[in-house]
Amino acid sequence: MANFYHSVTLDKDKCVGCTNCIKRCPTEAIRVRDGKAVITQERCIDCGECIRICPHHAKRARHDPLAIVKRFKYKIALPAPSLYGQFNNLDDQDYVLSGLKALDFDDVVEVSGAAELVSEATRRLMDSGAIRRPVISSACPAVVRLIRVRFPDLCDHVLPLRSPMEIAATIAKQAAMAKTGLPEEDIGCFFISPCPAKVTEVRDPICVEKSKVDGVLAISEIFPPLSHRMDRLEAAAIEPLSSSGIIGVGWATSGGESAALLKEKYLAADGIHNVIRVLEEVEDERIGDLDFIELNACTGGCVGGVLCVENPYIAQARLQRLRKYLPVSQSHLAANEPVPREMKWESELEFSNVMSLSPDIGKAMMMMMEIDDLEQTLPQLDCGACGSPTCRAFAEDVVKGISKKTDCIFTLRGKVEALSSMFGEQEETQEPES
Protein backbone atom coordinates (compact mmCIF):
# COMPACT_ATOMS: atom_id res chain seq x y z
CA MET A 1 0.00 0.00 0.00
CA ALA A 2 2.83 2.37 0.86
CA ASN A 3 4.38 2.44 -2.60
CA PHE A 4 1.53 3.90 -4.62
CA TYR A 5 2.87 6.46 -7.06
CA HIS A 6 0.65 9.33 -8.14
CA SER A 7 1.14 12.03 -10.70
CA VAL A 8 -1.54 14.26 -9.17
CA THR A 9 -0.02 16.40 -6.43
CA LEU A 10 -1.04 19.34 -4.30
CA ASP A 11 0.53 22.79 -4.12
CA LYS A 12 -0.19 23.53 -0.45
CA ASP A 13 0.42 27.25 -0.78
CA LYS A 14 -2.29 27.60 -3.40
CA CYS A 15 -4.87 25.33 -1.75
CA VAL A 16 -7.44 27.36 0.18
CA GLY A 17 -9.27 24.30 1.50
CA CYS A 18 -12.46 24.79 -0.54
CA THR A 19 -14.76 21.87 -1.36
CA ASN A 20 -14.49 21.71 -5.16
CA CYS A 21 -12.11 18.79 -5.48
CA ILE A 22 -13.53 16.64 -2.67
CA LYS A 23 -16.94 16.76 -4.28
CA ARG A 24 -15.70 15.96 -7.77
CA CYS A 25 -13.41 13.01 -6.98
CA PRO A 26 -14.91 9.76 -8.37
CA THR A 27 -13.37 7.55 -5.68
CA GLU A 28 -13.93 9.94 -2.72
CA ALA A 29 -10.16 10.01 -2.29
CA ILE A 30 -9.82 13.63 -1.12
CA ARG A 31 -10.53 15.20 2.27
CA VAL A 32 -9.82 18.70 3.56
CA ARG A 33 -7.75 18.51 6.74
CA ASP A 34 -6.49 21.58 8.60
CA GLY A 35 -7.58 23.75 5.72
CA LYS A 36 -5.75 21.82 2.97
CA ALA A 37 -6.77 19.05 0.59
CA VAL A 38 -5.28 15.64 1.35
CA ILE A 39 -5.32 12.81 -1.21
CA THR A 40 -5.79 9.26 0.08
CA GLN A 41 -3.05 7.57 -1.91
CA GLU A 42 -4.52 4.09 -2.30
CA ARG A 43 -7.84 5.42 -3.60
CA CYS A 44 -6.52 7.94 -6.16
CA ILE A 45 -6.78 6.73 -9.77
CA ASP A 46 -4.99 9.74 -11.34
CA CYS A 47 -7.98 10.69 -13.46
CA GLY A 48 -7.15 14.39 -13.26
CA GLU A 49 -10.68 15.54 -12.31
CA CYS A 50 -9.34 17.51 -9.33
CA ILE A 51 -6.78 19.26 -11.53
CA ARG A 52 -9.54 20.24 -13.93
CA ILE A 53 -11.94 21.50 -11.25
CA CYS A 54 -9.54 23.37 -8.91
CA PRO A 55 -10.16 27.11 -9.35
CA HIS A 56 -6.93 27.94 -7.51
CA HIS A 57 -4.67 25.72 -9.63
CA ALA A 58 -3.46 24.00 -6.49
CA LYS A 59 -3.64 20.52 -8.02
CA ARG A 60 -0.80 19.74 -10.37
CA ALA A 61 0.10 16.94 -12.71
CA ARG A 62 3.61 15.71 -12.15
CA HIS A 63 5.50 15.00 -15.38
CA ASP A 64 9.12 14.97 -16.45
CA PRO A 65 10.97 18.15 -17.48
CA LEU A 66 12.10 18.41 -21.11
CA ALA A 67 15.73 18.29 -19.92
CA ILE A 68 15.34 14.62 -18.94
CA VAL A 69 16.00 13.56 -22.54
CA LYS A 70 19.64 14.68 -22.21
CA ARG A 71 20.37 11.71 -19.93
CA PHE A 72 20.28 9.32 -22.90
CA LYS A 73 22.60 8.91 -25.87
CA TYR A 74 19.79 8.11 -28.31
CA LYS A 75 16.48 9.87 -27.76
CA ILE A 76 13.15 8.78 -29.22
CA ALA A 77 9.91 10.77 -29.06
CA LEU A 78 6.64 8.83 -28.81
CA PRO A 79 3.89 11.34 -29.64
CA ALA A 80 0.34 10.52 -28.50
CA PRO A 81 -2.23 10.74 -31.31
CA SER A 82 -3.93 13.58 -29.40
CA LEU A 83 -0.85 15.76 -30.07
CA TYR A 84 -1.94 16.16 -33.71
CA GLY A 85 -5.24 17.73 -32.63
CA GLN A 86 -3.41 20.63 -31.00
CA PHE A 87 -2.33 22.19 -34.32
CA ASN A 88 -4.43 24.27 -36.65
CA ASN A 89 -4.56 23.39 -40.37
CA LEU A 90 -2.45 20.25 -40.01
CA ASP A 91 -2.69 18.09 -43.15
CA ASP A 92 0.10 15.66 -42.45
CA GLN A 93 1.53 14.14 -39.24
CA ASP A 94 5.01 14.36 -40.82
CA TYR A 95 5.15 18.10 -40.02
CA VAL A 96 4.76 17.34 -36.32
CA LEU A 97 7.08 14.33 -36.43
CA SER A 98 9.78 16.22 -38.33
CA GLY A 99 9.36 19.13 -35.92
CA LEU A 100 9.97 16.77 -33.00
CA LYS A 101 13.13 15.44 -34.64
CA ALA A 102 14.35 18.98 -35.20
CA LEU A 103 13.67 19.75 -31.55
CA ASP A 104 15.98 17.33 -29.79
CA PHE A 105 15.13 13.78 -30.76
CA ASP A 106 17.07 11.25 -32.83
CA ASP A 107 13.97 9.41 -33.86
CA VAL A 108 10.17 9.52 -33.63
CA VAL A 109 7.81 6.55 -33.33
CA GLU A 110 4.11 7.27 -33.52
CA VAL A 111 1.97 5.85 -30.73
CA SER A 112 -0.87 5.90 -33.25
CA GLY A 113 1.08 3.29 -35.26
CA ALA A 114 1.30 1.04 -32.19
CA ALA A 115 -2.41 1.70 -31.60
CA GLU A 116 -3.14 0.10 -34.97
CA LEU A 117 -1.28 -3.01 -33.83
CA VAL A 118 -3.32 -3.05 -30.60
CA SER A 119 -6.50 -2.79 -32.67
CA GLU A 120 -5.45 -5.79 -34.76
CA ALA A 121 -4.44 -7.77 -31.68
CA THR A 122 -7.78 -6.95 -30.04
CA ARG A 123 -9.68 -8.21 -33.08
CA ARG A 124 -7.70 -11.46 -33.01
CA LEU A 125 -8.16 -12.00 -29.27
CA MET A 126 -11.87 -11.26 -29.47
CA ASP A 127 -12.37 -13.58 -32.41
CA SER A 128 -10.66 -16.35 -30.46
CA GLY A 129 -13.24 -15.82 -27.69
CA ALA A 130 -10.52 -15.85 -25.02
CA ILE A 131 -11.84 -12.90 -22.98
CA ARG A 132 -15.15 -12.46 -21.13
CA ARG A 133 -17.60 -10.33 -23.07
CA PRO A 134 -18.19 -7.47 -23.13
CA VAL A 135 -14.46 -6.81 -23.42
CA ILE A 136 -13.48 -3.54 -21.74
CA SER A 137 -10.68 -1.42 -23.21
CA SER A 138 -7.48 -1.15 -21.15
CA ALA A 139 -5.98 1.87 -22.94
CA CYS A 140 -7.03 4.50 -20.37
CA PRO A 141 -4.91 3.95 -17.23
CA ALA A 142 -7.37 5.87 -15.05
CA VAL A 143 -10.19 3.53 -16.09
CA VAL A 144 -8.08 0.41 -15.39
CA ARG A 145 -7.28 1.79 -11.94
CA LEU A 146 -10.93 2.66 -11.35
CA ILE A 147 -12.02 -0.89 -12.19
CA ARG A 148 -9.29 -2.24 -9.93
CA VAL A 149 -10.59 -0.36 -6.87
CA ARG A 150 -14.35 -0.22 -7.51
CA PHE A 151 -15.45 -3.04 -9.82
CA PRO A 152 -14.02 -6.36 -8.59
CA ASP A 153 -16.25 -8.46 -10.77
CA LEU A 154 -15.23 -6.70 -13.98
CA CYS A 155 -11.46 -7.20 -13.69
CA ASP A 156 -11.53 -10.22 -16.03
CA HIS A 157 -13.42 -8.27 -18.72
CA VAL A 158 -10.48 -5.91 -19.20
CA LEU A 159 -8.46 -6.35 -22.40
CA PRO A 160 -5.15 -7.92 -21.28
CA LEU A 161 -3.01 -5.99 -23.76
CA ARG A 162 -0.35 -3.37 -23.12
CA SER A 163 -1.18 0.17 -24.10
CA PRO A 164 -0.14 1.61 -27.48
CA MET A 165 2.41 3.76 -25.59
CA GLU A 166 4.17 0.68 -24.17
CA ILE A 167 4.13 -1.14 -27.49
CA ALA A 168 5.50 1.92 -29.30
CA ALA A 169 8.38 2.04 -26.78
CA THR A 170 9.12 -1.67 -27.23
CA ILE A 171 9.20 -1.36 -31.02
CA ALA A 172 11.21 1.88 -30.90
CA LYS A 173 13.88 0.40 -28.61
CA GLN A 174 14.27 -2.79 -30.65
CA ALA A 175 14.65 -0.80 -33.87
CA ALA A 176 17.09 1.68 -32.31
CA MET A 177 19.29 -1.10 -30.87
CA ALA A 178 19.46 -2.76 -34.28
CA LYS A 179 20.19 0.54 -36.02
CA THR A 180 22.77 2.03 -33.62
CA GLY A 181 24.28 -0.99 -31.87
CA LEU A 182 23.80 0.85 -28.56
CA PRO A 183 22.70 -1.08 -25.44
CA GLU A 184 19.08 -0.64 -24.33
CA GLU A 185 20.00 1.56 -21.34
CA ASP A 186 21.46 4.22 -23.65
CA ILE A 187 18.20 4.55 -25.56
CA GLY A 188 15.56 6.80 -24.05
CA CYS A 189 11.88 6.68 -25.04
CA PHE A 190 9.74 9.71 -24.15
CA PHE A 191 5.98 9.70 -24.33
CA ILE A 192 4.42 13.06 -25.22
CA SER A 193 1.34 12.85 -23.09
CA PRO A 194 -2.13 14.40 -22.90
CA CYS A 195 -2.66 13.19 -19.33
CA PRO A 196 -1.11 12.60 -15.90
CA ALA A 197 -2.47 9.04 -15.61
CA LYS A 198 0.12 8.04 -18.22
CA VAL A 199 2.86 9.27 -15.88
CA THR A 200 1.50 6.90 -13.26
CA GLU A 201 1.25 4.08 -15.80
CA VAL A 202 4.98 4.47 -16.48
CA ARG A 203 6.15 4.89 -12.87
CA ASP A 204 3.80 2.39 -11.23
CA PRO A 205 2.60 -0.01 -13.95
CA ILE A 206 -0.23 -2.49 -13.43
CA CYS A 207 0.01 -6.01 -14.91
CA VAL A 208 3.46 -5.24 -16.35
CA GLU A 209 6.66 -5.48 -14.28
CA LYS A 210 8.49 -2.49 -15.74
CA SER A 211 7.59 0.15 -18.30
CA LYS A 212 9.72 0.55 -21.42
CA VAL A 213 9.09 4.30 -21.33
CA ASP A 214 11.84 6.42 -19.75
CA GLY A 215 10.04 9.70 -19.36
CA VAL A 216 6.67 11.37 -19.84
CA LEU A 217 6.58 14.89 -21.25
CA ALA A 218 3.48 17.09 -21.18
CA ILE A 219 1.91 18.17 -24.46
CA SER A 220 1.37 21.58 -22.82
CA GLU A 221 5.10 21.93 -22.17
CA ILE A 222 6.39 20.74 -25.53
CA PHE A 223 3.74 22.60 -27.54
CA PRO A 224 5.37 26.10 -27.53
CA PRO A 225 8.91 25.05 -28.62
CA LEU A 226 7.51 22.44 -31.02
CA SER A 227 5.13 24.77 -32.84
CA HIS A 228 7.92 27.35 -33.05
CA ARG A 229 10.21 24.73 -34.63
CA MET A 230 7.47 23.53 -37.00
CA ASP A 231 6.99 27.08 -38.29
CA ARG A 232 10.63 27.23 -39.29
CA LEU A 233 10.92 23.80 -40.95
CA GLU A 234 12.34 23.84 -44.48
CA ALA A 235 10.43 21.74 -47.00
CA ALA A 236 13.47 19.48 -47.35
CA ALA A 237 13.41 18.75 -43.62
CA ILE A 238 9.96 17.14 -43.76
CA GLU A 239 10.70 13.42 -43.62
CA PRO A 240 8.20 10.62 -44.34
CA LEU A 241 8.05 9.40 -40.73
CA SER A 242 4.39 8.57 -40.23
CA SER A 243 3.34 4.97 -39.71
CA SER A 244 -0.38 5.34 -38.98
CA GLY A 245 -3.68 5.99 -40.70
CA ILE A 246 -7.31 6.70 -39.85
CA ILE A 247 -7.45 3.91 -37.27
CA GLY A 248 -4.38 5.00 -35.30
CA VAL A 249 -5.16 8.72 -35.31
CA GLY A 250 -8.75 7.85 -34.35
CA TRP A 251 -7.54 6.60 -30.95
CA ALA A 252 -7.18 10.24 -29.84
CA THR A 253 -10.92 10.66 -29.55
CA SER A 254 -13.70 8.71 -27.86
CA GLY A 255 -15.07 6.02 -30.19
CA GLY A 256 -11.88 5.66 -32.22
CA GLU A 257 -10.67 2.50 -30.55
CA SER A 258 -14.06 0.80 -30.91
CA ALA A 259 -14.56 1.85 -34.52
CA ALA A 260 -11.20 0.19 -35.30
CA LEU A 261 -12.56 -3.20 -34.22
CA LEU A 262 -14.91 -3.25 -37.20
CA LYS A 263 -17.68 -4.67 -35.00
CA GLU A 264 -21.16 -3.27 -34.60
CA LYS A 265 -21.98 -4.12 -31.01
CA TYR A 266 -19.90 -1.62 -29.09
CA LEU A 267 -20.30 1.28 -26.74
CA ALA A 268 -17.92 4.21 -26.18
CA ALA A 269 -18.31 6.38 -23.08
CA ASP A 270 -16.17 9.31 -21.99
CA GLY A 271 -15.90 11.47 -18.88
CA ILE A 272 -15.17 9.66 -15.62
CA HIS A 273 -18.67 9.99 -14.16
CA ASN A 274 -20.26 8.59 -17.33
CA VAL A 275 -17.70 5.80 -17.26
CA ILE A 276 -18.77 4.87 -13.73
CA ARG A 277 -22.44 4.79 -14.76
CA VAL A 278 -21.65 2.43 -17.62
CA LEU A 279 -19.54 0.15 -15.41
CA GLU A 280 -22.38 -0.06 -12.85
CA GLU A 281 -24.72 -1.20 -15.62
CA VAL A 282 -22.23 -3.74 -16.98
CA GLU A 283 -21.76 -5.09 -13.47
CA ASP A 284 -25.52 -5.63 -13.11
CA GLU A 285 -25.74 -7.19 -16.58
CA ARG A 286 -28.14 -4.47 -17.69
CA ILE A 287 -26.16 -3.32 -20.70
CA GLY A 288 -27.51 -5.78 -23.26
CA ASP A 289 -25.62 -7.63 -25.93
CA LEU A 290 -22.28 -5.91 -26.49
CA ASP A 291 -18.89 -7.12 -27.70
CA PHE A 292 -16.73 -4.18 -26.71
CA ILE A 293 -16.79 -1.24 -24.34
CA GLU A 294 -14.42 1.67 -24.81
CA LEU A 295 -14.04 3.90 -21.78
CA ASN A 296 -12.09 7.14 -21.49
CA ALA A 297 -11.79 9.05 -18.22
CA CYS A 298 -11.59 12.39 -20.02
CA THR A 299 -14.41 14.09 -21.87
CA GLY A 300 -14.00 13.55 -25.60
CA GLY A 301 -11.29 10.92 -25.04
CA CYS A 302 -7.54 11.60 -24.85
CA VAL A 303 -7.93 15.01 -26.54
CA GLY A 304 -9.70 16.00 -23.30
CA GLY A 305 -6.63 15.25 -21.16
CA VAL A 306 -5.57 17.95 -18.72
CA LEU A 307 -2.12 18.27 -20.32
CA CYS A 308 -3.58 19.22 -23.71
CA VAL A 309 -3.61 22.87 -24.74
CA GLU A 310 -6.62 22.85 -27.08
CA ASN A 311 -10.33 22.48 -26.29
CA PRO A 312 -11.20 18.78 -26.87
CA TYR A 313 -13.98 19.50 -29.36
CA ILE A 314 -11.80 21.76 -31.47
CA ALA A 315 -9.04 19.14 -31.37
CA GLN A 316 -11.58 16.54 -32.50
CA ALA A 317 -12.65 18.70 -35.46
CA ARG A 318 -9.01 19.15 -36.46
CA LEU A 319 -8.37 15.43 -36.33
CA GLN A 320 -11.36 14.81 -38.61
CA ARG A 321 -9.69 17.06 -41.16
CA LEU A 322 -6.31 15.36 -40.73
CA ARG A 323 -7.82 11.88 -41.07
CA LYS A 324 -9.68 12.69 -44.24
CA TYR A 325 -6.98 11.69 -46.72
CA LEU A 326 -5.13 9.10 -44.67
CA PRO A 327 -5.04 5.40 -45.51
CA VAL A 328 -7.15 3.27 -43.16
CA SER A 329 -4.17 1.75 -41.42
CA GLN A 330 -0.39 1.71 -41.95
CA SER A 331 0.84 -0.65 -39.23
CA HIS A 332 0.05 -4.35 -39.24
CA LEU A 333 0.85 -7.51 -37.30
CA ALA A 334 2.33 -10.52 -39.09
CA ALA A 335 -0.54 -12.35 -40.78
CA ASN A 336 -1.87 -15.65 -39.43
CA GLU A 337 0.22 -15.58 -36.28
CA PRO A 338 -0.89 -15.44 -32.67
CA VAL A 339 -0.75 -12.10 -30.85
CA PRO A 340 2.94 -11.55 -29.88
CA ARG A 341 3.70 -12.23 -26.24
CA GLU A 342 5.36 -8.83 -25.75
CA MET A 343 2.02 -7.14 -26.51
CA LYS A 344 0.26 -8.93 -23.67
CA TRP A 345 0.07 -8.18 -19.96
CA GLU A 346 2.41 -10.19 -17.78
CA SER A 347 -0.10 -10.74 -14.99
CA GLU A 348 -3.87 -10.59 -14.46
CA LEU A 349 -5.66 -7.48 -13.24
CA GLU A 350 -6.38 -8.03 -9.56
CA PHE A 351 -9.02 -6.33 -7.43
CA SER A 352 -7.55 -4.01 -4.81
CA ASN A 353 -10.00 -3.72 -1.95
CA VAL A 354 -9.35 -0.17 -0.76
CA MET A 355 -12.98 0.92 -0.34
CA SER A 356 -14.14 -1.57 2.29
CA LEU A 357 -14.57 -0.48 5.90
CA SER A 358 -12.64 -3.34 7.49
CA PRO A 359 -11.01 -6.60 6.38
CA ASP A 360 -13.19 -8.33 8.99
CA ILE A 361 -16.73 -8.49 7.63
CA GLY A 362 -18.32 -8.72 11.09
CA LYS A 363 -16.51 -5.58 12.15
CA ALA A 364 -17.40 -3.87 8.87
CA MET A 365 -21.09 -4.60 9.56
CA MET A 366 -20.89 -3.11 13.07
CA MET A 367 -19.26 -0.04 11.56
CA MET A 368 -21.94 0.26 8.90
CA MET A 369 -24.70 0.19 11.52
CA GLU A 370 -22.93 2.98 13.38
CA ILE A 371 -22.53 4.91 10.12
CA ASP A 372 -26.23 4.49 9.28
CA ASP A 373 -27.24 5.77 12.74
CA LEU A 374 -24.87 8.72 12.61
CA GLU A 375 -25.92 9.64 9.08
CA GLN A 376 -29.50 10.05 10.33
CA THR A 377 -28.37 12.81 12.71
CA LEU A 378 -26.57 14.79 9.98
CA PRO A 379 -28.20 17.60 7.97
CA GLN A 380 -27.96 15.73 4.59
CA LEU A 381 -26.81 18.92 2.91
CA ASP A 382 -23.53 17.41 1.68
CA CYS A 383 -22.02 20.87 2.14
CA GLY A 384 -18.47 19.57 2.47
CA ALA A 385 -17.57 22.09 5.20
CA CYS A 386 -16.42 19.21 7.43
CA GLY A 387 -13.83 18.26 4.83
CA SER A 388 -15.61 15.09 3.64
CA PRO A 389 -17.44 15.03 0.29
CA THR A 390 -20.89 14.00 1.60
CA CYS A 391 -22.68 13.53 4.93
CA ARG A 392 -22.47 9.78 4.32
CA ALA A 393 -18.71 9.93 3.74
CA PHE A 394 -18.39 12.10 6.87
CA ALA A 395 -20.28 9.52 8.94
CA GLU A 396 -17.86 6.91 7.61
CA ASP A 397 -14.87 9.08 8.47
CA VAL A 398 -16.15 9.59 12.03
CA VAL A 399 -16.72 5.87 12.55
CA LYS A 400 -13.29 5.14 11.09
CA GLY A 401 -11.86 7.63 13.60
CA ILE A 402 -10.43 10.08 11.08
CA SER A 403 -12.99 12.84 11.74
CA LYS A 404 -14.69 14.17 14.89
CA LYS A 405 -18.48 14.60 15.15
CA THR A 406 -18.03 18.30 15.86
CA ASP A 407 -16.23 18.76 12.51
CA CYS A 408 -19.82 19.03 11.23
CA ILE A 409 -20.68 22.70 11.69
CA PHE A 410 -24.38 21.87 12.14
CA THR A 411 -23.65 19.39 14.91
CA LEU A 412 -21.35 21.97 16.46
CA ARG A 413 -23.98 24.71 16.18
CA GLY A 414 -26.52 22.43 17.87
CA LYS A 415 -24.11 21.92 20.76
CA VAL A 416 -23.39 25.63 21.06
CA GLU A 417 -27.10 26.43 21.04
CA ALA A 418 -27.75 23.79 23.67
CA LEU A 419 -25.00 25.28 25.83
CA SER A 420 -26.16 28.88 25.38
CA SER A 421 -29.78 28.02 26.16
CA MET A 422 -28.56 26.27 29.30
CA PHE A 423 -26.73 29.42 30.39
CA GLY A 424 -29.68 31.53 29.20
CA GLU A 425 -32.04 29.58 31.47
CA GLN A 426 -29.70 30.10 34.39
CA GLU A 427 -29.69 33.85 33.75
CA GLU A 428 -33.48 33.86 33.57
CA THR A 429 -33.78 32.02 36.87
CA GLN A 430 -31.36 34.46 38.42
CA GLU A 431 -33.23 37.52 37.18
CA PRO A 432 -36.02 37.78 39.81
CA GLU A 433 -33.44 37.81 42.57
CA SER A 434 -31.78 41.00 41.36
Q: Which residues bind other proteins (CB under 8 A)?
A: 150, 152-153, 280, 283-286, 288, 351, 353, 355-359, 361-362, 364-366, 368-369, 396
Q: Which is nearer to other proteins, 153 or 184 (CB)?
A: 153
Q: Which is nearer to other proteins, 68 or 366 (CB)?
A: 366
**Residue 2's Cα: distance from chain center in Å?**
20
Q: Which is nearer to other proteins, 282 or 306 (CB)?
A: 282
- Pairing verdict, β 59-61 and 8-10: antiparallel
Residue 282 beta carbon to other proteins: minimum distance, rounded to whole angstroms: 11
Q: Which is nearer to other proteins, 377 or 420 (CB)?
A: 377
Q: How many Å apart are CA 56 and CA 54, to the nearest integer?
A: 5
The set of residues, in sequence order, having a beta carbon less than 8 Å from that of 122 and lying 6+ positions away, is 135, 159, 161, 260, 261, 292
Residue 38 beta carbon to other proteins: minimum distance, rounded to whole angstroms: 21
- Cα separation of the two ends of the chain: 66
Find the angle CA(357)-CA(391)-CA(38) to the nearest 5 degrees.
Answer: 70
Residue 208 beta carbon to other proteins: minimum distance, rounded to whole angstroms: 24
Q: How many Å apart are CA 328 and CA 262, to the nearest integer?
A: 12
Give the DSSP H/E element, type plus range, for residue 376. Answer: helix 361-377
**What secondary structure letter does DSSP report for 307?**
T
Q: How many Å apart are CA 400 and CA 31, to the nearest integer?
A: 14
Residue 349 beta carbon to other proteins: minimum distance, rounded to whole angstroms: 13
Amino acid at 230: M
SS3 79: strand
- Sheet strand arrangement including 292-296: 135-136, 292-296, 266-270
Judge residue 185's burial from the number of C-beta atoms within 10 Å of its C-beta, 0-12 exposed, 13-18 middle, 19 or more buried: exposed
Residue 151 beta carbon to other proteins: minimum distance, rounded to whole angstroms: 9
Q: Which is nearer to other proteins, 28 or 166 (CB)?
A: 28
Residue 369 beta carbon to other proteins: minimum distance, rounded to whole angstroms: 6
Residue 357 beta carbon to other proteins: minimum distance, rounded to whole angstroms: 5
Among candidate residues 322, 23, 268, 40, the one with its CA nearest the CA of residue 140: 268
Amino acid at 178: A
Q: Which is nearer to other proteins, 218 or 398 (CB)?
A: 398
Residue 361 beta carbon to other proteins: minimum distance, rounded to whole angstroms: 5
Judge residue 434's burial from the number of C-beta atoms within 10 Å of its C-beta, 0-12 exposed, 13-18 middle, 19 or more buried: exposed
Q: Which is nearer to other proteins, 347 or 358 (CB)?
A: 358
Q: Which is nearer to other proteins, 362 or 432 (CB)?
A: 362
